Structure formats: C-alpha cells, structure tokens
Structure 1
Amino acid sequence: MSVQPGRLLEKVSKEALSDPEKFWGEQAKSLVWERQWDSVLEWKPPFARWFSGGLLNASVNCLDRHISTDTKNKAAITWESEAGESRTLTYYQLYRQVNRLANALKDLSVQKGDRVTIYMPMVPELPVAMLACARIGATHSVVFSGFSSQALVDRVNDAKSKVILTADGSMRKGKLIDLKKVVDESLPQAPSVEHVVVFRRAGNPVSMGPRDVWWHEIVERAAPYCKPEMVASSHPLYILYTSGTTGKPKGVMHGTAGYLVHLYSTAKWVFDFQRSDIFFCTADIGWVTGHSYMVYAPLMHGVTEIMYDGAPDYPKPDRYWAVAEKHGATILYTTPTALRMYMKYGDSIPNSFDLSSLRLLGTVGEPINPEVWQWYFTTIGKEACPIIDTWWQTETGGIMLSACTGIDFVPMKPGSATLPVPGVDAAVVDESGRQVAPGTKGYLVVRRPWPGMLLSLWGDDEKYRNTYWSRFEGMYYPGDYALADKDGYLWLLGRADDVLKVAGHRLGTMELESAFVSHRDIAESAVAGRPDATKGESIIAFVVTKEGIEGSDALRKELVDHIRRTVGPIATPDEVYFVGKLPKTRSGKIMRRLLKSIASGDKIGDVTTLEDGAAIDEVKRAYEELKKAVG
C-alpha cells in the first residue's frame, strides 16, 4: 500500500521539532569537519551559537571535498554574458584559482578575521573571491555592482574593510559600468582600505593609483596551494548589507557551520540535487540568494551551475529561456518579478525555445501571484515540472518555507509557500503573539532557532535584538503578514508594514496585487496606501498593462469592478494609475515606500537601491496626469 503524499515529510518534520539538536546534529555530518562540535546548540536568546567547539572551512566544503573524487573534472560553473560569451570552470580549475587568490590576499597582508569588500560584476571570479576569503578565514562583504560610490563607502566603512576586490568595468544592457571609477570616488572616504585589487573584465582604460594592483599580476606570482584556515563554527563567514529601502543598511552577519549545514540540507530537500543537474539560479551574487544558492549550496553538492551576467530582457526579452536551452538547465530558480516581465510579452517567445531539459521550477524574492504561478507551470514547465515557491530572507540565511521535493511530494497550491522545511518552527500569530486559527491573517514568526540564522548585525547586537526579537517575546519576527490554511500551508500576504487598514479591515498588499494581476490585461501591479480621514487609509494602485494593451478610463473602471468582485467592495481602489514600469530595487522588489510617498506628497528619501530612476518619473507622470484629468 503506497504512503499518502506528504506523510514522509510530515514524519521528518515532526521528528525534527521533537528533538532539534539531534536532528541538526545528524544533518551536520554531511559537512567536512576538521574537528567535530562539542554541542549542537548554545541558545542564549536571542543569540544562537551552532556546533560550538567545531572547526571547519567553507572553501574545503565547497572544493577540496571534490578534488579526490570524479567530480574534480566536472563543470562547476558555466558562465554566460548578455553578449553571448561563454566560459566553463571545472571544480579543479575553480579550486586552483581560489588557492592562488587566497595566497595573493595573504601576500597583501589579509589575515583571519579581516574584512574584504567584493565589488565585482557577475563573473566566475566573484565566487572565486568569496571562496578565497573563506579559505584564509577573512570575512567577505559582497556589495552589489550596481551601487553608487556613497553606498559603497557606507558598507566599506561599516565593515572596516582592508581590501576591495573590483574590476575595470562591467556591461549592463550593452553599456559600460565603470566600477573602478566608482571605487576611486569612494577611496578618499574609506580610510581602512589598504589595497584595491582590479580584475580585467571590460578592457577599458583605468587609472591605477598607489593602492591599486592588478588581479592577474598578483595571482600569477602567488603559490598554487593555500592551506585552508580552520575556523570556529561561529566564525563570521560574511557580512551582507540589506537593500536598505528605509534608513541605513544593516550588516547581516552569518557564521560558518550553522549556515553551511542549513544550506546543504535545504538544497538537498528542496531542489533534490542530482549528479546530472544543471542548476540555473538567476540571482545576482550581490544578494543573499546568490550567496546561498548560487555559490555555497550548489558547490557543496558538486552540481554544475549556470551563472548569467546580464539583464533578463537584453538584447531581447528571452535571455533566461535562451540560456536554459543552450546549457540544458534542469532546475530554474528565478523571481516572480522576472516572470511577470516575461508574461507581459506573451507565450510565443518562451514557446520558441526547447525547455524540455527542465525538471523543477522555483521562485524566490517575494510571493508569487497565482496567475503568474499558473503561467510558469503551464508555459515554461509544460505542466511537467513541480514548482517550489520558497520564502526566506537575508537574515534567515537559507530557505525556511518551501515544498521539499527531495523528501516527499506534497500537493501544490498556486501562490502558497507551502510548508516550513524540517526543523523550522514557523507559525502565524496575532498582535499578542498567540497562534491564530487556520484561515486567519496574522504575523509570521519563527518560534525557535535554526542553523542558518544570522549571528547578529555587524557591530550592533542591540539593533539585532530590537529589530527581530522585540515584537514577540522569544520569537523571531521577520516582518511579514501571512495566513495558514486548514492544511497548514502558508500564504505570504506582503510585508507587515505594507498591510493597509481600510475602514478597520486589514488588507495585505500581496492579495490586492494578485487580484489586479489576475485580470487578463494586467502584467504587474503595486498597491500603496494613502492616509484617509474617513477610512483610515485609501487604496492607490499602479498597474502595468500587457504588451499591446493601452490604459484607458474604460479599463480603469473594469479593474475597479474586477477588484470588487474578486476581493470585495472593501478593497475598492480609490485611484488606479497606468505606468510603463514600477520602481524596484536591484534585487527586483517593488519599492512600495516610493509609491506611497508619491501618492501622499511626501519626500521620496533614499533611492540608492533603485534599479531604474526613470520608473519614479513614470509613476509621477501618471499620477499628475490623472490628477489633472479629474480636476
């Protein structure tokens, strides 16, 4: 008699929560240790130290473990640029490059515990740099290559980085981005920096100052083998600054052992990595998805990963499909933002590519609208690929909510993040921290520590405590609004600070935006609230129509009626604006704060994380035009 779907996952999850230390101790045996731990968990709320007493090295776990096996000559990274250039590094070639760069950094006096800022384009040398830092026990801090000099200065100074690794330039949508010039502009305000290492990528002329050295020159001089520095389990592997949509960016600090155990385990459970897999994660390494599921997890598992350097819609809106077909991707892990953009152009483009190699589809970064999920499942996966909708954060280190195809099959529900992964105790609670009944909206919390959790915020334990642990006693609060259904499936409804309170009713931005996208003519939407003397807040919507559809008063009325039917009269938007694009961070998240500021007439504030400044002008224009039209 066959076991019912989900029963095995239920069994594993129950065992994990009944004895978490035993469970995570078993998972930790998958790593390579120099010295095994004395205790699995030291929990002094809100600070967790996992696998205390253990010694290990992240570089060894990603590379050395494979060098004595037949994975040695397997492709580790297959790289492609938006111009169509390709390059492949085997595990052995990657290992050699990491060793040489590690020795080169030591020659520049980088030592265990020093911080190194990495400000580079999406080239294989970026993971090489991260792993070289890990090999010598230096803490890396990757700064997204689209950031300005001031954003770089803020992050370098906060980390007190000793060295910056950069490139002469990078290409984005056919245009040169002069990274070295940005670094040069930042240096007068970054006194801790002793050296700048420059990788030759774009070939454009750059000025080399007294602190500057060429990557290729110092690597050529370096010894070919670097003995790995064994570090304590809680040694900081990296600092990653949050995107900073409000206020000063926070330096999220992740340790080594707990983080790696969480990644190794979740990658196995969620993606069910097979030796034959070609894993295509479209994230930029400047964000946590790139760190966790593009560098560390796939390399620990010895799979081949595709690394794409470019925009998803340049030179044509087909890049992900073209890259997946060319390299035979078996797993695609991308964002709902990218999928909504591709949906806008219809089915004919993806249908012109052979995507039959795909066996699993995944999403990350924000909740996926059910209509987008259905398009992904039908058009891209041809109804043959399961979809994993993963929820997690920079702070959690790795995936927290997801289907686990490597353990068991559970029925898919379009738009749901499914269930907590084994060992994660997630729940939905009310204002008082009490778990709410199924079907009731509330706040997502995690009720006990997990291995991938951040150690703290760099240099600010008090802010760490206040930001994540003060709202609900003894519980980690990620700031998300959610709902658990009768089957225990979790539905993310948007950031809690994006929840609108209309005439006493709480409405999540995600549920409203999904309702707009469910209309046949709408590709993307963003909803913001504006203070209203009568209702508390009124609903303002910004929508992007599909290709070939024009915004009009008739369509606006149709959308209002559609929202009234699908969500209810309480959700009736007061205003609907048609825009060509929405303001997003460079990681693809909609900056609703900006929309709210525009609709409320407030100051816009910090826009360092904005992908395209023209989007703000587009929103402002639509807003002013409608205002004039209605008097």
Structure 2
Amino acid sequence: MNITREQVREGAYGRAYRQSIEDPETFWLDAAKGIDWVSEPTQALDSSNAPEYQWFPNGTLNMSYNALDRHIEAGRGDRQALIYESAVTNKSRVYTFNELRDEVARFAGVLASHGVGLGDRVVIYMPMIPEALIASLACARLGAVHSVVFGGFAAKELASRINDAKPKVIVTADGGIEPNRIVEYLPIVAEALALSDAFVDAVIVKDRPEIPGGAKDGTEWVADIVDVDWYDWDQEMTQAAPHDPVPVVATHPLYILYTSGTTGAPKGVVRDTGGYAVALSWSMRNLYNIEAGQVMWTASDVGWVVGHSYIIYGPLIAGAATLVYEGKPVGTPDAAQFWRIIEKYKVRSFFTAPTAIRAVRKEDPQGELIKKFDISSLQALFLAGERTDPDTYHWAVANVHPKVVDHWWQTETGWAITGNFIGLQSVESRAGSGGLPTPGFNVQILDDEGNPVPTLGEGNIVIKQPMPPGTLTTLWRKHKRYFRCYLKPFPGYYLTGDSGYIDREGYVYVMGRTDDVINVAGHRLSTGQMEGILAAHQAVAEAAVIGAADALKGEKPFGFVVLKHGVDTPEPVLRKELIQKVRGELGAVASFKDVVVVHGLPKTRSGKILRKNLRQLVNGEKLIVPPTIEDTAVLTQVQIAVHTYLREKEEAQQARAQAAAAEPAQEASPA
C-alpha cells in the first residue's frame, strides 16, 4: 500500500495531528476525558511560564485509582489485570483487578507505615516479578515518587541514583534469575548504601524461594555492613492495613527515571501525573489499538521507560491486561518463548526491541518455530528502543506479522514521538522509518545554525515547543541542566539529540545520535562514562570509546587505550582488567568486551579525537581522512592495531568452534 501526503493529511490521523498542533487546548481536554479525575481540569495547557509548560494545572487525580479501582467500580474486577510468566522459574500467575488492587493497597499501607507519604521518594530495585509493579503502583497510590532502577546495574550506579533521589525506603528482592546464573541483589544494595551519602530509613526485601539462602538468611549479615533496618516483604504485608488512593495535582511528579547523559552523570527525568495519564490513555486507544479486556505484552523491563509506560501503567489505565515476562527471547530455553506466550494468552499487541527480534532470527532464521504456534491474535508487532534496520523489519514482516510498527521515542518523552496510529488510521509502515509524528509532537529538522532543512535533508531532529502531555517536566534536582541540555541549543525547540530527515509524505527517519551516547540493545549508554572508567586505570593515559555496529545488539562499545610510559603489562592481561573494570562499574548491561591498545589516538589539530574515523576502522567502512587531522601516521598505526585485533579474535573464535565440533568425535573414539 502506497500512501500519498494528501491521504495522510486528509485521513483521521491527519485531522487529529492538525488539531493537536493548531488547537492543543481542545484536543487535549477532549483526550483528558479518558481519565477519571477527582477534580476535572478546565484548562489543558498553562503557558504562563514558557518555555516551562504545565498540562492540566487545575486537575487532580490518582494514577493508581485510574489503573485499578475505577475498573473494579465499573464491574471489571474479576477480569485479568496482570499476567506473570517466568521462563526461568517455570511459574505463572494471573491477577485479577480485584487481586492486584488489594495487593497494591496493602503495600501502600506498608510504605505508609514506614513514613512514606506525599512527595517522598522510593527506590525500587527488582527483577521482573509482580512485586515490581505492585511497589510502583503503591507509590502512585500514596502520591510518593518512585524511582525504578534496572536490576542489572552495578552498586556504584545504584548508589549514584540513591544519592540523587534521596529515598526514604528501598524496595528490592533477594535476587534476579538469569538463564545460567543467579544475580544476588542484597550484596549490591548493601554496597550501594555503603557508597551513598543518603540516609535510607528502611529496605524492604521480597524473598524468592528460588534463590539459595534467600533474604531471610541474608539480611542479618547485610545489616551489619550498613546502618539500615531490613524488612521482609511478606511479613510486612500480613501486618499492613490497605491504603486508599491519595489525590494529587496533575503536575505532581509520579516518578524519576534515570538515563545516562553524555557526561556520565545520571539524569533523573521527572514525569508528571496528569499529563502522563492522559498521554498513555490516548496512545493505548490510538497507537496500540488496545481496549479493556484485551492483552498487551511489552517485552521490556520495568527499569526502562518502555516498562514504565506500557507494562506498569498504560495497559492497566485502558482496563487491559499487562503481561510481565521474566526471561529472555532466546535461551530460556529456546527461541520460541515469544510465540508460545502470545498463543497462551491471546496477546493482541506485542511490543519488543529490534535486538530481541534479531536474537530470535539468529536462532530461527527461517521462522520454523513461529509456525508451531497460533499467533493469529496479534494485530501488530511494535518495535522501539533503537532503529529497526531494514533487514530485521522485512524478516519480521515475512515471519511474524505483516503489520510491523517501528516507532521512535525516548526516555525523556515517555511515549512515542512517531509511529503508525492503527487505532486512528492504519497507514503503511516504511522500512527504516519510525513512522509519522505523534499528534502533539511538532517534529522538525534544523541545521546546526537553527535553520530549517529542506525535505529529505538530514539535520538535527527537534520538537517545537510546547511538547505534548506526558513528556519530561525537568531533571530531578538539575533544572539548569534540563534547560542547558534540551532547550538552550535551539530556543523554542526541544533537542532530541538525534539526527535524521523527513520524507515527502511526512515519515521521520532517525539516523543516529548527535552526541556520544550509544544504543546497546535498546539501552542508552554513555561512551564518555566508559572512557572515564578506562582512563582511571593506573596503566592508562588516554582512552576513547565508540559505538561499533553489531548484528545482534545494534551497537556495542569498542575501546581504545593509550598506555602510560613504561607500562609493560601484557595486552591480554590489561584487556581483561579493563573489561572487568567497566563491567564492574556499569554492570553487564554495558556489554563491554573489546578494547585495543594503541600508541596514540587520531586527533584534529585542535585536539579533538576523530571518533568517526575510529568507527570507520572498526566497522570496516571506507576510511575518509579529514583535512584537519594532526598526524596521519597515528591513524595508520591504529588501523593496523584494529585489523590485528579483529583478525586474532576471529581466529580464536574459529579455533573454539573447531574444538567444540571435534569433542563428540573424541568421546566416541576408542581409548
């Protein structure tokens, strides 16, 4: 199906988009009717303090009530609300709205008994288990501000978030379960508390029977490390009284979600309550086409923005069931888990990252496992978290579903900037494009001087202010940084930090980051932060990290280090130390595995490292040497070092593969 600009403009999508830009007051007050308010707003947008905008300033509501209680009052209490499916424990459970509301209300009572109230912060550091959602919704019930931290983050990263958020309480579990290992959380939490300077009143621990030893055995020795009181989740729940929803103003912060910045210091994105609720409600109907009683599965983690918006809140606001999956797309135990679960629960909308589809494709290139399951309940496959390369897009169309929606958004925006709005008007998706701009997002392309770029011309992707509801309102305790990072570069616009172009029909193409943040399997990581970790090693004089192309994860970090004079540590030994150092500080999520020792880094005459040339060398692209280079001999040496490293790495992989293939034959041979 080919679509013209006129069809886009004159259809239901075009009319909605046009109204959202030309008359946002009417558009968003109408959208606000999808939410139950304690005090209904009479004003959508407050521009009196521009460029700081507020949505629904005179409205009051409670997010937990909108996700749970109102559906019970509407007679849907016995419908499924939360589906838990664990591929690593072989456990599953379905909570009805009645059951989930009761759990949330009781845990809100637990938090209240520990002094948590309106505006207090709670850090949640948990695996993908129902209690992660229950804790988040309980915070929302109290008007407390939750900050969910991905369970794979190292102690130092957790400590930095504790220092910034200054929580009263931390909610955690005794561990997370990976396909081949158990990650114990209590030592990480204890170390993070020891590293932080924030005073925490209590740590509440969910004991998992699958974890050897468990929280009941572990909290005593952990309590000896840091001066904090530890409490058992289940015991606290038996003693707590249910807590009613606390009304908050629409502008009240719902959560803080930390994302890496180019400096390496975490940025705490602040999301309001009312605008976010309205945005999620609108998107559930118009983008994901989900209604009450249906099932939406977002295969993400609650530590990421996708998990916040479309695991914890979005589906429940719509009265739909949300699916919580503990496992991987492959290896738990095979590449059929997605399709098995879709068939089992009749999933209507499935949302995952392109890296997950690439992992499945690697294990099942012909899609044979998909054919074994009935996934006809699917209306579309939604992809986001990173750019979907055309090969992955076409494979998904051919093997998973003919309707693949690649939509683009950021932690800061909280929901999609672009997409295919199948609940309004389903139009064609285009390989390599994140779709059409979401109503409310006035997406434009500017050059570095702030001038509009002609159609099909690449430049800085910006969003004309005001941003729609649901987007960030500031950075926690860093309001000046919020202005500096997002609003100051192009006055009157929000800077996305991405570059790209818009085609003649209005489709947006995101080509890459304009800063040094790389996207590893949907996780935004700062190369500058990794460079700082490498440079802190006693043997390293200078370091650079670039994003190398990776068939599975989209990008992966690749490091270069220049050693201090006189260092004679063997390169394999040094490489192992550096990799362990980065992974120790950032966690395994950094996926840092490659680092090369070089005599010098190629630079311009002004001293700027030529990272583009480093990427060209690692990715095997044509090397284009800029005229501003200071010393071409340095670049030549780096080229030789990269070539040697990659060749030796490939030879080692081939040797391991040959040895593995020979093992059965050796076992079968006579003694």
TM-score (norm 1): 0.81
State the AA in 1 paired with 2:63.
Answer: A
The one-letter code sitting in structure 2 at the alignment partner of 1:107 is S
Deviation sequence 1:461-510 (CA, Å, 0-9, x none) = 100000001111110001000110111110010112369xxxxxxxxx99
CA contact 1:266–1:421 (8 Å) conserved in 2 = no
Greater alpha carbon shift after TM alignment, 8-17 vs 208-217? 208-217
Q: Do the aligned residues in 1 keep the contact of 2:262 with 2:516 (CA within 8 Å)? A: no
Q: Does 2:387 match 1:367?
A: yes
2:266 corresponds to which residue?
A: 249
The aligned runs of 1:231-270 (5 Å cut-off) are 231-244=248-261, 246-270=263-287
Structure 1, 64-73 or 120-129: larger mean CA deviation: 64-73
CA distance 1:322–1:53, shift in 2 (3 Å): same
Q: Report the equivalent of 1:130.
A: 136
Map of 1:206 onto structure 2: 218
Task: Give the superposition deviation at 1:326.
Answer: 2.6
Aligned amino acid, residue 212 of structure 1: W
CA shift in 2, pair 1:245/1:267, >3 Å: farther
Aligned to 2:60: 55
Q: Show the counterpart of 2:154.
A: 148
Structure 2 gap segments, 5+ residues each = 1-5, 521-526, 528-545, 565-577, 599-617, 619-639, 649-671
Equivalent position of 1:536 in the other structure: none
- The residue that corresponds to 2:123 in the other structure is 117
Shift of 1:310: 1.5
Say which is worse superposed, 242-251 or 67-76, in terms of deviation: 242-251
Shift in Å at residue 13 of structure 1? Answer: 1.0
- Does the 8 Å contact 2:154/2:587 carry over to 1? no
Tell me the distance in 2 between the aligned counterparts of 1:408 and 1:213.
Answer: 51
In structure 2, the residue matched to 1:590 is 555
Partners of 1:398 and 1:542 in 2: how far apart?
Answer: 27
Could you tell me whether the CA contact under 8 Å between 2:271 and 2:473 is conserved in 1? yes
Counterpart of 2:219, as a letter, is S
Asked whether the 8 Å contact 1:244–1:609 carries over to 2, the reply is no
Task: Give the C-alpha shift of residue 62 in structure 1.
Answer: 0.5
Q: 1:323 deviation in Å?
A: 2.1
Cα displacement (A) at 1:295: 1.1
Unaligned runs of 5+ in 1: 500-508, 514-526, 528-539, 546-580, 583-588
Contact 2:347–2:378 (8 Å) recurs in 1: yes
Deviation for aligned residue 1:270: 0.6
Structure 1 residues 219-256: Cα deviation after superposition (integer angstroms, max 9, x where no partner): 111113x1211111111100000045751111111111
Q: Give the match for residue 14 of structure 1.
A: 18
Q: Which of the numbers 477, 488, 503 marks the counterpart of 1:459?
A: 477
Note the C-alpha offset of 1:336: 0.8
Equivalent-residue separation in structure 1 for 2:149 and 2:158 (angstroms): 7
1:24 aligns with 2:22: no
Partner of 1:611: 588
The secondary structure found in structure 2 opposite 1:368 is coil
- Tell me the equivalent position of 1:403: 420
What displacement does 1:390 show?
A: 1.2
- In 2, the alpha carbon distance for the partners of 1:109 and 1:392 equals 36
The 5 Å alignment of 1:348-359 reads 348-359=368-379
> How far apart, in 2, do the equivalents of 1:630 and 1:169 lie?
39
Paired letter, 1:55: T
How far the C-alpha of 1:599 sits from its partner, in A, is 8.8
1:164 aligns with 2:184: no
Q: Does 1:330 align with 2:348?
A: yes
Identity rate, percent: 35
- Among 217, 238, 253, the alignment partner of 1:220 is 238
Give the distance between the partners of 2:385 and 2:300, measured in 1 at CA.
9
Match status 1:297 vs 2:314: yes
Shift of 1:628: 6.3
Aligned-pair distance for 1:289? 0.3
Q: Mean alpha-carbon deviation: is it higher for 490-499 or for 164-173?
A: 490-499
The alignment partner of 1:53 has SS state of: coil
Whole-Å separation in 2 of the counterparts to 1:336 and 1:614: 17
1:563 is matched with which residue? Answer: none
User: Which residue matches 2:193?
Assistant: 187
Q: 1:626 to 1:403 in 2, by over 3 A?
A: same
Q: Which moved more, 1:19-28 or 1:606-615?
A: 606-615
| Alignment check: 8 A CA contact 1:246 1:606 kept | no
2:323 counterpart (306, 326, 350): 306
Instruction: State which of 503, 507, 520 in structure 2 corresponds to 1:489.
Output: 507
Q: Distance in 2 between matches of 1:141 and 1:338?
A: 25
Distance 1:243 1:431, change over 3 A: closer
Provide closer, same or farther for how the CA distance between residues 629 and 21 of structure 1 changes in structure 2, counting only shifts above 3 A. Answer: closer
Equivalent-residue separation in structure 1 for 2:372 and 2:301 (angstroms) = 26
SS in 2 for 1:161: coil
Deviation at 1:138, TM superposition (A): 0.6
Q: Structure 1's 94 and 368: CA in aligned 2 closer, same or farther, altered over 3 A?
A: same
AA paired with 2:20?
Answer: A
The 1:290–1:18 alpha-carbon spacing in structure 2 relative to 1, beyond 3 Å, is same
Amino acid at match of 1:291: H
Change (3 A) 1:173 1:245: farther
CA distance 1:49–1:5, change in 2 (3 Å): closer
Secondary structure of residue in 2 paired with 1:241: strand
The root-mean-square deviation of aligned C-alpha atoms, in Å, is: 2.9
Indicate yes or no: 2:39 matched with 1:39. Answer: no
Q: CA deviation at 1:352?
A: 3.2
For residues 184 and 543 of structure 1, the distance between their equivalents in structure 2, rounded to whole angstroms, comes to: 36
Distance in 1 (CA, whole Å) between partners of 2:414 and 2:590 is 30
**Equivalent residue number for residue 655 of structure 2:** none
Displacement of 1:370 in angstroms is 1.2
Deviations 1:49-87, CA, capped at 9 Å, x for gaps: 111121111111101110112321111111111232111
* 1-structure distance, mates of 2:414, 2:561: 35
Higher Cα Rg, which structure: 2
Paired residues in the alignment total 547
Cα displacement (A) at 1:609: 4.3
Could you tell me which residue of structure 1 aligns to residue 339 of structure 2?
Answer: 321
- Aligned letter for 1:258? G
Q: 1:277 to 1:445 in 2, by over 3 A?
A: same
